[in-house]
Chain A
Amino acid sequence: MLDVGRHPNLELLAYSEVEKVEGEAGNFKVTVRRKTRYVEEDRCTGCGACAEKCPTVVPDAFNEGLGDRSAIYSYFAQGIPSTHTIDPDHCRQLNGKKCGICAKTCQAEAINFEQEDRIIELDVGAIIIAAGYDIFDPSLIPEYRYREIANVVTAIEFERLLSASGPTEGHMDRPSDRAAQAEIAALEKKAKKSQKVLDKLEKKFDEPSADFYGKYQTGEYEGDEDRKKWADKYASHLKIVEPLEELKKKAKRFTVAKRLAFIQCVGSRDFRFYPFCSGYCCMHSIKEAVIAQEHEPETHSTIFGMDIRAIGKGFEEYKIRGGNNSNITYVRGRIAEITEGPNNNPVVTYEDTRERKVETREFDMVVLATACAPTKGIGTLAKTVGVELDKYDFIKTDSLSPVDTTTPGIFVCGCAESPMDVPESVAQASSAAERAAEIAFQSELEKEKAVA
Protein backbone atom coordinates (compact mmCIF):
# COMPACT_ATOMS: atom_id res chain seq x y z
CA MET A 1 0.00 0.00 0.00
CA LEU A 2 2.83 2.33 0.90
CA ASP A 3 4.51 1.57 -2.45
CA VAL A 4 1.37 2.68 -4.27
CA GLY A 5 1.56 6.03 -2.51
CA ARG A 6 5.15 6.76 -3.45
CA HIS A 7 5.83 5.04 -6.78
CA PRO A 8 7.07 7.67 -9.26
CA ASN A 9 5.05 6.15 -12.14
CA LEU A 10 1.83 6.01 -10.18
CA GLU A 11 -0.61 8.86 -9.86
CA LEU A 12 -2.98 8.13 -6.98
CA LEU A 13 -6.41 9.72 -7.41
CA ALA A 14 -8.16 8.78 -4.18
CA TYR A 15 -11.65 10.10 -3.37
CA SER A 16 -12.37 10.32 -7.10
CA GLU A 17 -14.78 8.76 -9.54
CA VAL A 18 -14.73 8.06 -13.26
CA GLU A 19 -17.45 10.12 -14.94
CA LYS A 20 -17.00 9.55 -18.66
CA VAL A 21 -15.02 7.30 -20.96
CA GLU A 22 -14.71 7.93 -24.71
CA GLY A 23 -12.61 6.39 -27.45
CA GLU A 24 -11.27 2.92 -28.10
CA ALA A 25 -8.44 0.57 -27.18
CA GLY A 26 -5.14 2.44 -27.30
CA ASN A 27 -6.84 5.78 -27.12
CA PHE A 28 -9.34 6.37 -24.33
CA LYS A 29 -10.27 9.82 -23.06
CA VAL A 30 -11.37 9.58 -19.44
CA THR A 31 -13.04 12.25 -17.31
CA VAL A 32 -12.43 11.88 -13.58
CA ARG A 33 -14.21 13.84 -10.86
CA ARG A 34 -11.96 14.54 -7.92
CA LYS A 35 -14.43 14.96 -5.07
CA THR A 36 -13.72 17.78 -2.68
CA ARG A 37 -12.26 16.79 0.67
CA TYR A 38 -12.44 20.42 1.91
CA VAL A 39 -8.80 19.80 2.81
CA GLU A 40 -5.86 20.87 0.65
CA GLU A 41 -4.06 17.66 -0.29
CA ASP A 42 -0.65 19.33 -0.70
CA ARG A 43 -0.84 20.96 2.72
CA CYS A 44 -2.40 18.31 4.98
CA THR A 45 0.28 16.39 6.84
CA GLY A 46 -2.16 13.81 8.20
CA CYS A 47 -1.29 14.69 11.81
CA GLY A 48 -4.88 14.19 12.99
CA ALA A 49 -5.08 17.23 15.31
CA CYS A 50 -8.30 18.30 13.53
CA ALA A 51 -9.99 14.93 14.09
CA GLU A 52 -9.13 15.07 17.80
CA LYS A 53 -10.83 18.44 18.23
CA CYS A 54 -13.85 17.87 15.95
CA PRO A 55 -17.03 17.86 18.08
CA THR A 56 -19.12 15.69 15.72
CA VAL A 57 -19.11 11.93 16.22
CA VAL A 58 -20.37 9.56 13.52
CA PRO A 59 -20.22 5.75 13.06
CA ASP A 60 -17.01 4.67 11.39
CA ALA A 61 -17.58 2.87 8.05
CA PHE A 62 -14.12 1.32 8.08
CA ASN A 63 -14.97 -0.40 11.37
CA GLU A 64 -18.38 -1.42 9.97
CA GLY A 65 -20.11 1.03 12.30
CA LEU A 66 -18.70 -0.69 15.41
CA GLY A 67 -16.53 2.30 16.23
CA ASP A 68 -16.76 6.07 15.91
CA ARG A 69 -14.94 8.71 13.97
CA SER A 70 -15.23 12.50 13.76
CA ALA A 71 -16.69 14.48 10.85
CA ILE A 72 -13.16 15.28 9.69
CA TYR A 73 -11.36 11.98 9.40
CA SER A 74 -8.73 9.82 7.81
CA TYR A 75 -10.40 6.68 6.46
CA PHE A 76 -8.21 4.47 8.63
CA ALA A 77 -5.03 4.96 10.62
CA GLN A 78 -2.58 3.58 8.06
CA GLY A 79 -4.61 4.89 5.09
CA ILE A 80 -2.84 6.08 1.97
CA PRO A 81 -3.05 8.97 1.27
CA SER A 82 -3.19 10.12 4.88
CA THR A 83 -4.93 13.34 3.80
CA HIS A 84 -7.94 13.97 6.00
CA THR A 85 -11.42 14.42 4.58
CA ILE A 86 -14.45 16.35 5.80
CA ASP A 87 -17.67 14.39 5.65
CA PRO A 88 -20.08 16.95 4.13
CA ASP A 89 -23.17 15.15 5.49
CA HIS A 90 -22.10 15.54 9.12
CA CYS A 91 -19.77 18.56 9.30
CA ARG A 92 -21.36 21.33 11.37
CA GLN A 93 -19.75 24.14 9.39
CA LEU A 94 -20.88 22.74 6.01
CA ASN A 95 -24.42 22.30 7.34
CA GLY A 96 -24.80 25.96 8.24
CA LYS A 97 -23.88 25.75 11.92
CA LYS A 98 -21.13 27.75 13.54
CA CYS A 99 -18.00 25.67 14.00
CA GLY A 100 -14.73 25.68 12.03
CA ILE A 101 -12.78 24.23 14.96
CA CYS A 102 -10.72 22.06 12.59
CA ALA A 103 -9.66 25.12 10.59
CA LYS A 104 -8.54 26.86 13.80
CA THR A 105 -6.65 23.75 14.96
CA CYS A 106 -4.88 22.98 11.68
CA GLN A 107 -1.36 24.39 11.82
CA ALA A 108 -0.77 23.61 8.15
CA GLU A 109 -3.80 25.76 7.21
CA ALA A 110 -5.04 22.92 5.04
CA ILE A 111 -8.78 23.25 5.71
CA ASN A 112 -10.68 24.98 2.92
CA PHE A 113 -14.46 25.05 3.23
CA GLU A 114 -14.69 26.75 -0.19
CA GLN A 115 -12.97 23.89 -2.04
CA GLU A 116 -14.95 22.44 -4.95
CA ASP A 117 -14.93 19.23 -7.00
CA ARG A 118 -12.34 19.23 -9.74
CA ILE A 119 -12.70 17.58 -13.12
CA ILE A 120 -9.59 16.19 -14.76
CA GLU A 121 -9.08 14.56 -18.14
CA LEU A 122 -6.77 11.63 -18.77
CA ASP A 123 -5.51 10.08 -22.02
CA VAL A 124 -5.00 6.37 -21.48
CA GLY A 125 -4.34 3.35 -23.68
CA ALA A 126 -6.17 0.79 -21.58
CA ILE A 127 -8.40 0.54 -18.53
CA ILE A 128 -8.38 -2.04 -15.74
CA ILE A 129 -11.54 -2.39 -13.68
CA ALA A 130 -10.82 -3.56 -10.12
CA ALA A 131 -13.97 -2.22 -8.48
CA GLY A 132 -14.28 -5.05 -5.97
CA TYR A 133 -17.44 -6.36 -4.35
CA ASP A 134 -20.00 -5.64 -1.65
CA ILE A 135 -20.79 -7.71 1.39
CA PHE A 136 -24.18 -9.41 1.13
CA ASP A 137 -26.69 -7.86 3.51
CA PRO A 138 -27.79 -10.75 5.76
CA SER A 139 -30.80 -8.85 7.09
CA LEU A 140 -32.46 -10.06 3.85
CA ILE A 141 -32.58 -13.52 5.45
CA PRO A 142 -35.22 -13.14 8.17
CA GLU A 143 -34.43 -16.37 10.07
CA TYR A 144 -30.91 -15.20 10.97
CA ARG A 145 -32.28 -12.03 12.61
CA TYR A 146 -29.19 -9.99 11.84
CA ARG A 147 -29.53 -6.46 13.35
CA GLU A 148 -32.33 -7.74 15.63
CA ILE A 149 -30.02 -9.85 17.80
CA ALA A 150 -26.96 -7.77 18.71
CA ASN A 151 -24.59 -10.71 18.98
CA VAL A 152 -25.23 -11.93 15.44
CA VAL A 153 -22.53 -10.25 13.36
CA THR A 154 -21.13 -10.51 9.84
CA ALA A 155 -17.69 -11.97 9.16
CA ILE A 156 -16.23 -8.56 8.33
CA GLU A 157 -17.64 -7.07 11.56
CA PHE A 158 -16.06 -9.94 13.48
CA GLU A 159 -12.82 -9.26 11.63
CA ARG A 160 -12.84 -5.69 12.95
CA LEU A 161 -13.50 -6.96 16.49
CA LEU A 162 -10.52 -9.31 16.13
CA SER A 163 -8.22 -6.61 14.82
CA ALA A 164 -5.78 -4.95 17.21
CA SER A 165 -6.47 -1.67 15.39
CA GLY A 166 -10.24 -2.24 15.60
CA PRO A 167 -12.83 -0.80 17.99
CA THR A 168 -12.16 -3.34 20.76
CA GLU A 169 -8.39 -3.51 20.20
CA GLY A 170 -8.72 -7.21 19.53
CA HIS A 171 -10.68 -8.10 22.68
CA MET A 172 -13.59 -10.40 22.05
CA ASP A 173 -16.18 -8.09 23.59
CA ARG A 174 -19.72 -8.83 22.48
CA PRO A 175 -21.70 -6.10 20.67
CA SER A 176 -24.57 -6.34 23.19
CA ASP A 177 -22.14 -5.75 26.08
CA ARG A 178 -20.44 -2.91 24.23
CA ALA A 179 -23.82 -1.26 23.63
CA ALA A 180 -24.70 -1.61 27.33
CA GLN A 181 -21.33 -0.18 28.29
CA ALA A 182 -21.88 2.81 26.01
CA GLU A 183 -25.29 3.30 27.59
CA ILE A 184 -23.76 3.17 31.09
CA ALA A 185 -21.21 5.81 30.10
CA ALA A 186 -23.93 8.08 28.66
CA LEU A 187 -26.16 7.67 31.73
CA GLU A 188 -23.26 8.30 34.08
CA LYS A 189 -22.51 11.54 32.30
CA LYS A 190 -26.16 12.59 32.59
CA ALA A 191 -26.33 11.54 36.26
CA LYS A 192 -23.22 13.56 37.05
CA LYS A 193 -24.74 16.64 35.44
CA SER A 194 -28.07 16.37 37.26
CA GLN A 195 -26.28 15.57 40.54
CA LYS A 196 -24.46 18.88 40.22
CA VAL A 197 -27.78 20.77 40.03
CA LEU A 198 -29.13 18.78 42.97
CA ASP A 199 -26.00 19.55 45.00
CA LYS A 200 -26.65 23.26 44.57
CA LEU A 201 -30.28 22.88 45.64
CA GLU A 202 -29.31 20.76 48.64
CA LYS A 203 -26.89 23.45 49.70
CA LYS A 204 -29.53 26.13 49.27
CA PHE A 205 -32.20 24.34 51.34
CA ASP A 206 -29.67 22.56 53.57
CA GLU A 207 -31.31 19.16 53.27
CA PRO A 208 -30.50 15.92 51.34
CA SER A 209 -32.66 15.50 48.25
CA ALA A 210 -33.94 12.06 49.24
CA ASP A 211 -35.23 13.27 52.64
CA PHE A 212 -36.86 16.30 51.06
CA TYR A 213 -38.48 14.24 48.31
CA GLY A 214 -40.07 11.94 50.89
CA LYS A 215 -41.62 14.90 52.66
CA TYR A 216 -42.62 16.54 49.38
CA GLN A 217 -44.54 13.47 48.32
CA THR A 218 -46.62 13.60 51.51
CA GLY A 219 -47.73 17.07 50.39
CA GLU A 220 -45.76 19.08 52.93
CA TYR A 221 -44.56 21.81 50.58
CA GLU A 222 -47.70 22.38 48.49
CA GLY A 223 -47.68 25.69 46.66
CA ASP A 224 -43.93 26.21 47.10
CA GLU A 225 -42.72 26.81 43.51
CA ASP A 226 -38.97 26.57 44.28
CA ARG A 227 -39.36 23.27 46.10
CA LYS A 228 -41.56 21.93 43.28
CA LYS A 229 -38.70 22.55 40.84
CA TRP A 230 -36.35 20.72 43.18
CA ALA A 231 -38.75 17.77 43.43
CA ASP A 232 -39.11 17.62 39.63
CA LYS A 233 -35.35 17.70 39.24
CA TYR A 234 -34.93 14.89 41.74
CA ALA A 235 -37.63 12.80 40.06
CA SER A 236 -35.86 13.09 36.71
CA HIS A 237 -32.56 12.29 38.42
CA LEU A 238 -34.05 9.05 39.74
CA LYS A 239 -35.15 8.20 36.19
CA ILE A 240 -31.48 8.29 35.19
CA VAL A 241 -29.99 6.58 38.22
CA GLU A 242 -32.38 3.63 38.49
CA PRO A 243 -31.77 2.18 34.99
CA LEU A 244 -28.08 2.97 35.49
CA GLU A 245 -27.96 0.75 38.58
CA GLU A 246 -29.81 -1.99 36.68
CA LEU A 247 -27.30 -1.84 33.84
CA LYS A 248 -24.37 -1.89 36.23
CA LYS A 249 -25.74 -5.07 37.78
CA LYS A 250 -26.05 -6.55 34.29
CA ALA A 251 -22.50 -5.44 33.46
CA LYS A 252 -21.16 -7.82 36.09
CA ARG A 253 -22.34 -10.71 33.92
CA PHE A 254 -20.54 -9.45 30.79
CA THR A 255 -18.33 -12.08 29.24
CA VAL A 256 -15.89 -12.18 26.39
CA ALA A 257 -17.20 -14.33 23.55
CA LYS A 258 -15.88 -17.85 24.03
CA ARG A 259 -18.52 -20.01 22.36
CA LEU A 260 -18.60 -19.01 18.71
CA ALA A 261 -20.82 -20.24 15.89
CA PHE A 262 -19.86 -19.61 12.28
CA ILE A 263 -22.65 -19.97 9.75
CA GLN A 264 -21.53 -20.65 6.18
CA CYS A 265 -23.21 -19.83 2.87
CA VAL A 266 -25.14 -16.76 4.04
CA GLY A 267 -26.58 -15.52 0.75
CA SER A 268 -24.43 -17.76 -1.44
CA ARG A 269 -25.37 -21.29 -2.61
CA ASP A 270 -28.89 -20.11 -1.82
CA PHE A 271 -31.38 -19.94 -4.69
CA ARG A 272 -33.25 -17.08 -3.05
CA PHE A 273 -30.14 -14.87 -3.48
CA TYR A 274 -26.93 -16.03 -5.17
CA PRO A 275 -26.69 -19.61 -6.41
CA PHE A 276 -22.89 -19.42 -6.77
CA CYS A 277 -20.28 -20.33 -4.16
CA SER A 278 -18.38 -17.26 -2.94
CA GLY A 279 -15.26 -19.35 -2.58
CA TYR A 280 -13.39 -17.62 0.20
CA CYS A 281 -15.89 -17.77 3.10
CA CYS A 282 -15.07 -21.29 4.34
CA MET A 283 -11.40 -20.43 4.76
CA HIS A 284 -12.29 -17.00 6.11
CA SER A 285 -14.40 -18.52 8.90
CA ILE A 286 -11.69 -21.06 9.77
CA LYS A 287 -9.14 -18.24 9.91
CA GLU A 288 -11.36 -16.13 12.18
CA ALA A 289 -11.90 -19.13 14.49
CA VAL A 290 -8.15 -19.79 14.60
CA ILE A 291 -7.34 -16.14 15.40
CA ALA A 292 -10.13 -15.96 18.01
CA GLN A 293 -8.65 -18.97 19.76
CA GLU A 294 -5.21 -17.31 19.64
CA HIS A 295 -6.67 -14.27 21.39
CA GLU A 296 -8.58 -16.28 23.98
CA PRO A 297 -7.33 -19.88 24.41
CA GLU A 298 -10.64 -21.06 25.91
CA THR A 299 -12.57 -20.20 22.75
CA HIS A 300 -14.51 -23.03 21.11
CA SER A 301 -15.83 -22.52 17.60
CA THR A 302 -18.42 -24.49 15.69
CA ILE A 303 -18.55 -24.03 11.93
CA PHE A 304 -21.92 -24.93 10.39
CA GLY A 305 -21.73 -25.61 6.67
CA MET A 306 -23.05 -27.83 3.92
CA ASP A 307 -19.42 -28.78 3.29
CA ILE A 308 -16.13 -27.01 3.93
CA ARG A 309 -14.53 -26.01 0.65
CA ALA A 310 -10.83 -25.70 1.38
CA ILE A 311 -9.58 -25.54 -2.20
CA GLY A 312 -6.19 -23.90 -2.55
CA LYS A 313 -2.56 -24.31 -1.67
CA GLY A 314 -2.23 -25.21 2.00
CA PHE A 315 -5.95 -24.70 2.66
CA GLU A 316 -6.96 -28.27 3.54
CA GLU A 317 -4.01 -28.52 5.94
CA TYR A 318 -5.09 -25.25 7.53
CA LYS A 319 -8.61 -26.60 8.01
CA ILE A 320 -7.32 -29.78 9.69
CA ARG A 321 -4.88 -27.80 11.83
CA GLY A 322 -7.77 -25.59 12.95
CA GLY A 323 -9.73 -28.67 14.03
CA ASN A 324 -6.77 -30.20 15.85
CA ASN A 325 -5.20 -27.18 17.51
CA SER A 326 -7.78 -24.40 17.65
CA ASN A 327 -10.86 -26.04 19.18
CA ILE A 328 -12.86 -25.91 15.94
CA THR A 329 -15.72 -28.38 15.36
CA TYR A 330 -17.18 -28.72 11.87
CA VAL A 331 -20.89 -29.53 11.75
CA ARG A 332 -22.55 -30.47 8.47
CA GLY A 333 -25.96 -28.91 8.33
CA ARG A 334 -27.93 -25.75 7.73
CA ILE A 335 -29.39 -23.35 10.25
CA ALA A 336 -33.15 -23.19 10.57
CA GLU A 337 -33.38 -20.25 12.93
CA ILE A 338 -31.50 -18.05 15.38
CA THR A 339 -33.33 -16.79 18.47
CA GLU A 340 -32.23 -14.78 21.47
CA GLY A 341 -31.72 -16.60 24.76
CA PRO A 342 -30.81 -15.32 28.24
CA ASN A 343 -27.93 -12.83 28.63
CA ASN A 344 -28.31 -11.80 24.95
CA ASN A 345 -26.96 -15.18 23.86
CA PRO A 346 -27.96 -16.23 20.35
CA VAL A 347 -29.55 -19.69 20.25
CA VAL A 348 -29.07 -21.65 17.03
CA THR A 349 -31.52 -24.30 15.84
CA TYR A 350 -30.02 -26.54 13.18
CA GLU A 351 -30.16 -29.91 11.57
CA ASP A 352 -27.04 -32.03 11.92
CA THR A 353 -27.25 -33.94 8.64
CA ARG A 354 -24.57 -36.43 9.67
CA GLU A 355 -26.39 -37.37 12.87
CA ARG A 356 -29.84 -36.81 11.33
CA LYS A 357 -30.94 -34.78 14.31
CA VAL A 358 -32.47 -31.36 14.85
CA GLU A 359 -30.64 -29.63 17.67
CA THR A 360 -30.60 -26.34 19.54
CA ARG A 361 -27.46 -24.79 20.97
CA GLU A 362 -26.62 -21.58 22.76
CA PHE A 363 -23.59 -19.48 21.79
CA ASP A 364 -21.98 -16.23 22.95
CA MET A 365 -21.77 -14.91 19.43
CA VAL A 366 -22.80 -15.94 15.91
CA VAL A 367 -20.71 -14.97 12.86
CA LEU A 368 -22.38 -14.99 9.44
CA ALA A 369 -20.12 -15.87 6.51
CA THR A 370 -21.72 -13.46 4.06
CA ALA A 371 -21.69 -13.89 0.29
CA CYS A 372 -19.59 -11.88 -2.12
CA ALA A 373 -22.19 -9.69 -3.83
CA PRO A 374 -21.57 -7.52 -6.90
CA THR A 375 -20.80 -3.97 -5.86
CA LYS A 376 -23.72 -1.54 -5.95
CA GLY A 377 -22.15 1.00 -8.29
CA ILE A 378 -21.08 -1.61 -10.85
CA GLY A 379 -24.10 -1.01 -13.12
CA THR A 380 -23.33 2.68 -13.46
CA LEU A 381 -19.60 2.04 -13.83
CA ALA A 382 -20.16 -0.61 -16.51
CA LYS A 383 -22.36 1.82 -18.45
CA THR A 384 -19.85 4.66 -18.07
CA VAL A 385 -16.90 2.56 -19.15
CA GLY A 386 -18.88 0.63 -21.74
CA VAL A 387 -18.62 -3.03 -20.74
CA GLU A 388 -21.25 -5.76 -20.32
CA LEU A 389 -22.23 -7.48 -17.07
CA ASP A 390 -23.10 -11.14 -16.55
CA LYS A 391 -26.39 -12.41 -15.11
CA TYR A 392 -25.29 -11.74 -11.52
CA ASP A 393 -23.91 -8.23 -12.29
CA PHE A 394 -20.25 -9.17 -12.25
CA ILE A 395 -18.20 -7.98 -15.24
CA LYS A 396 -18.70 -10.35 -18.16
CA THR A 397 -15.65 -12.30 -19.28
CA ASP A 398 -14.92 -15.43 -21.26
CA SER A 399 -13.42 -18.54 -19.65
CA LEU A 400 -10.58 -18.60 -22.20
CA SER A 401 -9.77 -14.90 -21.65
CA PRO A 402 -10.66 -14.37 -18.01
CA VAL A 403 -9.43 -10.78 -17.71
CA ASP A 404 -10.80 -9.41 -21.02
CA THR A 405 -14.13 -7.64 -20.85
CA THR A 406 -16.53 -7.41 -23.78
CA THR A 407 -14.77 -4.20 -24.92
CA PRO A 408 -11.21 -4.38 -26.29
CA GLY A 409 -8.68 -2.45 -24.21
CA ILE A 410 -10.70 -2.78 -21.02
CA PHE A 411 -9.69 -5.46 -18.55
CA VAL A 412 -11.00 -6.67 -15.23
CA CYS A 413 -9.50 -8.30 -12.15
CA GLY A 414 -10.46 -9.22 -8.61
CA CYS A 415 -13.99 -9.61 -7.24
CA ALA A 416 -15.45 -7.28 -9.87
CA GLU A 417 -15.07 -10.28 -12.21
CA SER A 418 -16.26 -13.03 -9.84
CA PRO A 419 -15.85 -13.96 -6.16
CA MET A 420 -12.25 -14.86 -5.32
CA ASP A 421 -9.79 -14.75 -2.46
CA VAL A 422 -6.67 -12.62 -2.04
CA PRO A 423 -4.11 -14.89 -3.79
CA GLU A 424 -6.43 -15.31 -6.78
CA SER A 425 -7.10 -11.55 -6.92
CA VAL A 426 -3.38 -10.87 -6.94
CA ALA A 427 -2.77 -13.42 -9.68
CA GLN A 428 -5.57 -12.04 -11.81
CA ALA A 429 -4.40 -8.48 -11.17
CA SER A 430 -0.94 -9.30 -12.56
CA SER A 431 -2.57 -10.98 -15.51
CA ALA A 432 -4.74 -7.90 -16.23
CA ALA A 433 -1.66 -5.72 -15.87
CA GLU A 434 0.14 -7.76 -18.54
CA ARG A 435 -2.80 -7.48 -20.93
CA ALA A 436 -2.98 -3.73 -20.41
CA ALA A 437 0.80 -3.42 -20.84
CA GLU A 438 0.54 -5.08 -24.25
CA ILE A 439 -1.59 -2.18 -25.42
CA ALA A 440 0.60 0.41 -23.74
CA PHE A 441 3.74 -0.89 -25.45
CA GLN A 442 1.99 -1.55 -28.75
CA SER A 443 1.32 2.14 -29.17
CA GLU A 444 4.99 2.75 -28.46
CA LEU A 445 6.00 0.35 -31.22
CA GLU A 446 3.57 1.93 -33.64
CA LYS A 447 5.05 5.35 -32.97
CA GLU A 448 8.54 4.02 -33.58
CA LYS A 449 7.37 2.48 -36.86
CA ALA A 450 5.89 5.78 -37.97
CA VAL A 451 9.19 7.58 -37.36
CA ALA A 452 11.20 4.93 -39.20
Chain B
Amino acid sequence: MSKDILVIGGGIAGMQSSLDLADMGIKVHLVEKLPSIGGKMAQLDKTFPTNDCAI
Protein backbone atom coordinates (compact mmCIF):
# COMPACT_ATOMS: atom_id res chain seq x y z
CA MET B 1 0.00 0.00 0.00
CA SER B 2 1.31 3.42 -0.91
CA LYS B 3 0.80 6.54 1.12
CA ASP B 4 -2.13 8.85 0.43
CA ILE B 5 -1.61 12.38 -0.96
CA LEU B 6 -3.42 15.57 -0.02
CA VAL B 7 -4.08 18.18 -2.70
CA ILE B 8 -5.17 21.64 -1.55
CA GLY B 9 -7.19 23.53 -4.15
CA GLY B 10 -9.51 22.22 -6.86
CA GLY B 11 -8.65 24.49 -9.77
CA ILE B 12 -7.04 23.31 -12.97
CA ALA B 13 -3.67 22.67 -11.28
CA GLY B 14 -5.17 20.81 -8.31
CA MET B 15 -7.46 18.74 -10.53
CA GLN B 16 -4.63 17.79 -12.88
CA SER B 17 -2.27 16.66 -10.12
CA SER B 18 -5.09 14.77 -8.36
CA LEU B 19 -6.01 12.89 -11.53
CA ASP B 20 -2.37 12.11 -12.37
CA LEU B 21 -1.84 10.65 -8.90
CA ALA B 22 -5.16 8.80 -8.86
CA ASP B 23 -4.34 7.26 -12.24
CA MET B 24 -1.05 5.99 -10.77
CA GLY B 25 -3.11 4.10 -8.22
CA ILE B 26 -2.46 6.47 -5.33
CA LYS B 27 -5.31 7.49 -3.05
CA VAL B 28 -5.83 11.27 -3.24
CA HIS B 29 -7.80 13.61 -0.97
CA LEU B 30 -8.68 16.83 -2.81
CA VAL B 31 -9.67 19.71 -0.53
CA GLU B 32 -11.51 22.66 -2.09
CA LYS B 33 -12.67 25.75 -0.16
CA LEU B 34 -15.65 26.53 -2.42
CA PRO B 35 -18.80 24.38 -2.87
CA SER B 36 -17.63 23.07 -6.28
CA ILE B 37 -14.28 22.39 -7.92
CA GLY B 38 -13.21 24.08 -11.15
CA GLY B 39 -11.57 27.25 -9.86
CA LYS B 40 -10.93 30.24 -12.08
CA MET B 41 -10.75 28.12 -15.23
CA ALA B 42 -14.41 27.09 -14.89
CA GLN B 43 -15.30 30.78 -15.08
CA LEU B 44 -13.60 31.11 -18.45
CA ASP B 45 -15.66 30.86 -21.59
CA LYS B 46 -12.88 29.68 -23.90
CA THR B 47 -9.14 29.13 -23.61
CA PHE B 48 -6.35 30.41 -25.88
CA PRO B 49 -4.88 29.79 -28.42
CA THR B 50 -7.30 27.13 -29.64
CA ASN B 51 -10.58 28.70 -28.44
CA ASP B 52 -11.50 25.40 -26.77
CA CYS B 53 -14.29 25.37 -24.24
CA ALA B 54 -12.91 25.68 -20.71
CA ILE B 55 -15.32 23.30 -18.95
B42:A414 contact, CB within 8 angstroms: no
**Does any Cβ of B come within 8 Å of A346's Cβ?**
no
**A160 close to B49 (CB less than 8 A):** no
Given A4-B15, A156-B43, A439-B3, does the pair A385, B30 have CB atoms closer than 8 Å? no
Are A130 and B5 neighbours in the complex by a CB distance under 8 Å? Answer: no
A429 x B28 contact (CB < 8 A): no
Partner among B17, B32, B38 whose Cβ is within 8 Å of the Cβ of A16: B32
Q: Is the CB of B1 within 8 A of A444?
A: yes
B27, B31, B49: the one contacting A13 at CB < 8 Å is B31
Q: Sample 5 A-B pairs with CB under 8 A, ordered by A number.
A: A9-B28, A32-B29, A425-B12, A429-B15, A440-B5
Residues of B at the A interface (CB closer than 8 Å) are 1-51, 55
**A contact residues around B27 at 8 Å (CB):** 9-11
C-alpha gap A164/B30 in the complex (Å): 29
Structural contact, B49 and A15, CB atoms closer than 8 A: no
Q: Which residues of B lie under 8 Å from residue A26 when comparing CB positions?
A: 3
> DSSP majority for the A interface?
mixed
Looking at the assembled complex, report how far the CB atom of B11 sits from the nearest CB atom of chain A, in whole angstroms. Answer: 5
Instruction: Evaluate whether A75 and B14 lie within 8 angstroms (CB atoms) in the complex, with A318-B49, A444-B2 already known.
Output: no
Q: Judging by beta carbons under 8 Å apart, are A17 and B5 in contact? A: no
Output the least CB separation between A253 and chain B (Å): 27
Assess the B28–A11 pair: CB atoms within 8 A.
yes
Contact of A75 with B8 in the complex, beta carbons under 8 Å: no
Q: Which of B14, B21, B31, B36 contacts A79 (CB 8 A)?
A: B36
A443 near B36 with CB under 8 A, answer no
| Residues in chain B near residue A432, CB distance under 8 A | 13, 17
A128 pairs with B8, CB closer than 8 A: yes
Q: Say yes or no for A314: interface residue by CB 8 A criterion.
A: yes
Residues of chain A within 8 A (CB-CB) of B29 are: 11, 13, 30, 32, 122, 124
Q: Are A413 and B17 in contact (CB under 8 A)?
A: yes
What chain A residues lie within 8 Å of B12 (beta carbons)? Answer: 414, 422, 425-426, 429
Q: Report the nearest B residue to A295, measured CB to CB.
A: B45
Asked if A416 is at the interface of the complex by the 8 Å CB criterion, the answer is yes
Count the A residues whose beta carbon is within 8 Å of the partner chain — how many? 92
Tell me whether A3 and B19 are in contact (CB under 8 A): yes
The answer to the question of A184 belonging to the interface, with a C-beta cut-off of 8 Å to chain B, is no
Report yes or no: B44 in contact with A123, Cβ–Cβ below 8 A.
Answer: no
- Shortest B2–chain A CB gap in Å is 4
- Since A62-B42, A162-B45, A286-B48 are in contact, a sample of 12 more A-B pairs with Cβ atoms closer than 8 Å, ordered by chain A residue number, is A12-B10, A17-B33, A73-B35, A75-B35, A126-B6, A130-B9, A131-B8, A159-B44, A422-B41, A432-B13, A433-B18, A441-B26
Tell me whether A124 and B5 are in contact (CB under 8 A). yes
Q: What 4 A-B pairs come out closest when comparing CB atoms?
A: A414-B13, A125-B3, A79-B36, A130-B14
The interface residues of chain B lying within 8 Å CB-to-CB of A4 are: 10, 15, 18-19, 30, 37
- A333 close to chain B: CB less than 8 A: no
Write out the residue numbers on chain B whose beta carbons fall within 8 Å of the beta carbon of A74. 35-36
Residues of B within 8 A of A291 (CB): 45-46, 51
Instruction: List the A side residues contacting B13 at CB < 8 Å.
Output: 130, 132, 413-416, 425-426, 428-429, 432
Please, which residue of chain A has its CB at the minimum distance from the CB of B25? A9
Task: For residue B47, give the distance in angstroms from its CB to the closest CB of chain A.
Answer: 6
Known contacts A122-B4, A124-B5: A1-B46 contact under CB 8 Å: no
Q: Within 8 Å CB of B6, what residues of A?
A: 18, 28, 30, 122, 124, 126-128
Measured in the bound complex, the distance between the Cα atoms of B47 and A433 in whole Å is 23
Give complex CA distance A129, B11 in Å: 11
Distance, CA A44 to CA B7, complexed state (A): 25
Name the B residues within 8 Å of A125 (CB-CB): 2-5
Task: Indicate if the CB atoms of A12 and B37 lie closer than 8 Å.
Answer: yes
Alpha-carbon distance between A164 and B54 when the two chains are bound, in angstroms: 12
In chain A between 76 and 94, which residues have their CB closer than 8 angstroms to a CB of chain B? 76, 78-83, 85
Is A381 interfacial (CB 8 A cutoff)? yes
Assess whether A433 is in contact with B16, with CB atoms less than 8 Å apart. Answer: yes
CB within 8 Å for A128 and B14 given contacts A16-B32, A318-B48, A318-B49: yes
